[in-house]
């Protein structure tokens, strides 16, 4: 099917208009022609009729062809414009072509009109097609997953696509025309910039993974391909931050796991070592008991065996507490400190010398406190039993004082005694696994304070100690108040 061509003809001579129409019909063209002869109707025609092509007579009263061309370009820049004129100077013809007309035809040579008209239409269509595909190409590059940027020899952003703007944390218009150094001060001192320089000078393709610090302090990781381009260099960039962050987290978890593994190794080694000592004693004492004739001495040996077994039991007991603390989820329950402390004191009733020591409990604050009851019980029992075990027999009034201050955010617990105290050379060591600071007195496992510290950390708190030999020891514990719903990091 032939396509109808809409033609707007600016012509004030009806006879010339007819002549032109006849010429076009001769060529069998399917034309829909509107003839206008004044500026207003010309403008209206371009707007309302929306022609595929404009034919313009050279000189109409009040509107010459140059003005008509300007109007046409203003209103519909893509519509082909052909000048049809009786006579025109060569200079004028050149100037109107330069101004944007597609062709000019002399009325004396109208036979050329159909060909010129077809050529102008074809040319316009090709131009439009090219522009469209350029726009599509531009859009495709703009929206590419990879960043594309072209940097000039003087380090200015000549082109950046949407992705580069997003990656670079700037708007495109804030980057274009500016230098890299203006946008990222200090960039010239980076390894990446040295690569860009090498590509700029040596015209070679380079690839790298780049860790980038943005002016706002945040970090990003990019895979870059740096290539020579006519204007300078072209950089393709892919944001690999998510992958990198996941890798770093994995590395961190790996390190954490290795640390836990090493700790476990150390624990197994120390625990077996600690358990072997009382076991060996039991074996030795047992052999001795077998040979012993004197009943009194045999009883002594059997008591010593009891002591060793009790110690072994103590160690196993502590190991179970330690393992429970690392395994079990942290509970968040309402804590009644009086109940908790009385229960912990009751658990120490079999310790040597307990009858001499007066415990005192003070709880301050109206707020409810939420934490993990059984962990707190183990913690308090360990601290209280130490105050009892390491009391000073020379003290006339040995005591252990427990005070608790509760607020909406935390509980501050102090456990203080007037016992033998801890020498300062041991202070930094006492929270370590199987560490005993006073071998002579300790029948314990050396795990008590290690467990206390682990519990406090698990509950999100802190612990510190102050002690003076011969004066006594105070433990200060700060625990967060964690109502249901609150998180312990
Ligand atoms: P142990 O089983 O030896 O009691 P802990 O881990 O509970 O192990 O304590 C480590 C060391 O810290 C103890 O051996 C003891 O020397 C010292 N210690 C702990 N609490 C006190 C205290 N209240 N008074 C004096 N020394 C203490």
52 secondary structure, DSSP code: S
The pLDDT, as a whole number, for residue 320 is: 85
Ligand 1 touching residue 419 (CB < 6 A): yes
Q: In angstroms, what is the span from residue 430 Cα to ligand 1's centroid?
A: 7
Atom of ligand 1 nearest to the CA of 391: 24
Using a 6 Å cutoff on CB, does residue 430 contact ligand 1? yes
d(C-alpha 104, C-alpha 153), whole Å: 44
Q: Say what the alpha-carbon torsion angle 458, 464, 468, 474 is, to the nearest 10 degrees.
A: -70
Strand 81-85 with 31-36, pairing: unpaired
Cβ of 437 less than 6 Å from ligand 1: yes
Instruction: Provide the token pair at 178.
Output: 């500016």
Give the number of the atom of ligand 1 that is nearest the alpha carbon of residue 475: 23
Centroid of ligand 1 to alpha carbon of 437 (angstroms): 6
Q: Is the CB of 435 under 6 A from ligand 1?
A: yes
Is the shortest distance between the CB of 472 and ligand 1 below 6 Å?
Answer: no
The Å distance, Cα 386 to ligand 1 centre, comes to 6
Q: How far apart are CA 361 and CA 343, in angstroms?
A: 12
Burial of 391 (0-12, 13-18, 19+ CB in 10 A): buried
The reported pLDDT for the residue numbered 212 is 87
Please identify every stretch of the chain with a pLDDT value under 70, giving residue numbers as ranges.
Answer: 1-2, 439-443, 484-489
Whole-number Å distance between alpha carbons of 194 and 183: 17
Ligand 1 centroid to Cα of residue 163, in Å, is 62
User: What distance in Å separates the CA atoms of residue 482 and residue 461, rounded to the nearest whole number?
Assistant: 11
Running DSSP on this structure, what letter comes out for residue 49? I
CA angle 379, 423, 317 (to 5 degrees): 30
Is the minimum distance from the CB of 446 to ligand 1 under 6 angstroms? Answer: yes
Could you tell me the CA-to-CA distances from 95 to 10, 39, 100, 208 in Å, in that order? Answer: 19, 21, 9, 54
Q: How far is CA 377 from the centre of its chain?
A: 40
> Which residue, by CA, sits nearest to atom 7 of ligand 1?
448
The length of the chain in residues reads 489
- Residue 436 Cβ < 6 Å to ligand 1: yes
- For residue 463, the 8-state DSSP code is E
Do 406 and 371 form a contact (C-beta atoms < 8 A)? no
Cα dihedral 129/132/137/142 (nearest 10): 170
Cα–ligand 1 centroid distance for 19 (angstroms): 119
Residue 318 Cβ < 6 Å to ligand 1 = no
Structure confidence at residue 133 (pLDDT): 94
Q: Is 262 exposed, middle or buried (0-12, 13-18, 19+ CB in 10 A)?
A: exposed
Render pLDDT for 273-291 as a digit per residue (tens, 0 to 9).
Answer: 888 888 999 999 999 999 9
What does the DSSP assignment read for 151-179?
EETTSBEEEE-HHHHHHHTS-HHHHBTSB
Only one residue has tokens 């059984």, namely 374
Which residue has the CA at smallest separation from atom 23 of ligand 1? 387
Q: Torsion angle, CA of 11/14/20/22, rounded to 10 degrees? A: 160
Q: What tens digit of pLDDT does each residue of 122-159 get?
A: 999 999 999 999 999 989 998 899 999 999 999 999 99
Ligand 1 centroid to 462 CA: how many Å?
18
Confirm or reject: Cβ of 79 under 6 Å from ligand 1: no
Q: How far, in Å, CA of 151 to CA of 180, rounded?
A: 9
Nearest CA to ligand 1 atom 14: 436
Rounded-to-integer distance, Cα 345 and Cα 455, Å = 19
Ligand 1 and 453: CB distance under 6 A: no
Atom in ligand 1 nearest the alpha carbon of residue 439 = 14
Angstrom distance (rounded) from CA 414 to CA 428: 19
- Pocket flag, ligand 1, residue 422 (CB < 6 Å): yes
> What pLDDT does residue 441 have?
52
Given a contact cutoff of 8 angstroms between Cβ atoms, the answer to whether 61 and 68 are in contact is no
Radius of gyration over every alpha carbon of the chain, rounded to an integer in angstroms: 47
Q: Which atom of ligand 1 is nearest to the CA of 438?
A: 16
Beta pairing, strands 81-85 & 232-239:
unpaired
Q: What is the pLDDT of residue 430?
A: 95
């Amino acid at each position: 099917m032939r396509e109808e061509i809409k033609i707007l003809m600016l012509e004030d001579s009806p006879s010339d208009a007819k002549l032109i129409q006849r010429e076009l019909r001769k060529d069998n063209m399917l034309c829909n022609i509107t003839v206008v002869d004044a500026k207003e109707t010309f403008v209206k025609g371009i707007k309302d009729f929306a022609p595929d092509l404009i034919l313009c007579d050279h000189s109409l009263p009040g509107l010459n062809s140059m003005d008509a061309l300007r109007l046409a370009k203003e209103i519909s820049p893509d519509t082909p414009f052909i000048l049809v004129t009786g006579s025109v100077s060569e200079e004028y013809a050149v100037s109107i072509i330069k101004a944007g007309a597609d062709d000019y035809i002399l009325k004396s040579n109208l036979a050329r009109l159909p060909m010129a008209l077809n050529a102008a239409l074809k040319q316009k269509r090709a131009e439009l097609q090219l522009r469209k595909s350029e726009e599509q190409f531009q859009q495709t590059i703009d929206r590419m997953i990879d960043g594309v940027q072209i940097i000039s020899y003087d380090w200015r952003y000549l082109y950046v696509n949407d992705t580069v703007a997003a990656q670079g944390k700037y708007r495109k218009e804030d980057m274009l025309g500016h230098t890299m150094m203006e946008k990222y001060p200090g960039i010239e001192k980076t390894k990446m910039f040295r690569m860009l320089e090498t590509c700029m000078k040596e015209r070679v393709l380079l690839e790298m993974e780049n860790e980038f610090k943005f002016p706002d302090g945040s970090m990003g990781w990019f895979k870059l391909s740096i290539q020579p381009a006519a204007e300078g260099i072209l950089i393709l960039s892919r944001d690999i931050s998510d992958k990198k962050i996941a890798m770093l987290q994995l590395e961190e978890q790996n390190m954490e796991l290795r640390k836990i593994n090493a700790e476990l190794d150390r624990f197994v080694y120390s625990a077996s070592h600690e358990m072997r000592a009382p076991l060996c004693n039991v074996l030795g004492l047992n052999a001795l008991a077998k040979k012993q004739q004197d009943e009194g001495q045999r009883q002594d040996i059997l008591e010593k065996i009891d002591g060793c077994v009790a110690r072994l039991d103590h160690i196993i007991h502590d190991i179970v507490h330690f393992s429970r603390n690392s395994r079990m989820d942290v509970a968040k329950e309402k804590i009644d400190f009086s109940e908790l402390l009385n229960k912990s004191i009751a658990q120490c009733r079999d310790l040597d010398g307990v009858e001499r020591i007066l415990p005192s409990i003070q709880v301050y604050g109206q707020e409810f406190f939420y934490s993990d009851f059984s962990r707190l019980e183990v913690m308090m029992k360990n601290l209280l039993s130490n105050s009892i075990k390491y009391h000073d027999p020379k003290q006339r009034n040995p005591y252990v004082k427990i005070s608790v201050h509760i607020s909406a955010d935390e509980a501050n617990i102090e456990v203080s005694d007037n016992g033998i105290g801890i020498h300062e050379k041991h202070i930094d060591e006492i929270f370590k696994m199987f560490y005993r600071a006073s071998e002579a007195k300790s029948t314990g496992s050396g795990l008590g304070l290690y467990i206390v510290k682990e519990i406090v950390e698990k509950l999100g708190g802190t612990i510190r100690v102050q002690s003076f030999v011969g004066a006594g020891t105070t433990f200060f514990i700060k625990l967060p108040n964690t109502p249901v719903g609150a998180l312990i990091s």
